[in-house]
Amino acid sequence: MKSISNYIPLVSVFLAVLFTLMFLYLYYFPPGSDIGPEQPIPFSHRVHTGVKNIQCEFCHPYVAQSSFPGMPPVEKCLYCHNYIIANHPWIQKEHEYYDTNTPIPWQKVNYLPEHAFFNHERHIKKDIECQACHGAVENMDRLKAEPFRMEFCIGCHREMNANLDCWLACHN
């Protein structure tokens, strides 16, 4: 019969490995990281684009012409919400922003690595759908960031015979 103490080294190695794995998991996938940042008003793409079928370009009108797709000013929200659920507390908050002339401080969701160059224009003109890069936005209440890795960009460029010379084209 072996005594319990013979197992102690084995058990400690096991525990050490377990804790390291747990630490790494929490480090790379902290709880809550699968949803995007909280927004000042819980605007839902699912409700507006999925259920109510409002076109993306209505709120992001410059996506095909400019390097900035555009964010809807609060006037655009009130264009509907002066009539639709006008007394809802979140709509009252829209009025506060409007009355005090404060742009709604939307939190930016997507980031590219600093050295990568991206412009929507060329992609939209090739009829690439928003969803190819942003996922099924019309099913999302709160948007989360897409992991735009280089293989993601390169993979599609290879498939569509676009510029692969990415060190010249995508990096500045």
Residue 123 touching ligand HEC (CB under 6 A):
yes
Q: Give the rounded distance of the alpha carbon of 19 from its chain centre.
A: 31
Residues between 65 and 104 with contacts to ligand HEC, criterion CB under 6 A = 68-69, 71-72, 76-77, 79-81, 84-85, 88, 90, 94
Residue 120 touching ligand HEC (CB under 6 A):
yes
Closest CA to 120 of 112, 110, 130, 107: 130
* Closer CB to ligand HEC, 39 or 95, in the complex: 39
Q: List the one residue from 12, 117, 139, 158 that touches ligand HEC (CB under 6 A).
A: 117
CA distances for 169 relative to 8, 33, 115, 156, angstroms:
58, 31, 11, 14
Residue 34 burial (10 A CB sphere; 0-12, 13-18, 19+): exposed
Structure tokens at 166: 């990415």
Residue 169 touching ligand HEC (CB under 6 A):
yes
Interface residues with ligand HEC (CB under 6 A)? Answer: 39, 41-45, 47-49, 52, 54, 56, 58-60, 63, 68-69, 71-72, 76-77, 79-81, 84-85, 88, 90, 94, 106, 108-112, 116-118, 120, 122-124, 126, 128, 130, 132-134, 137-138, 143, 148, 152-153, 156-157, 160, 162-163, 169-170
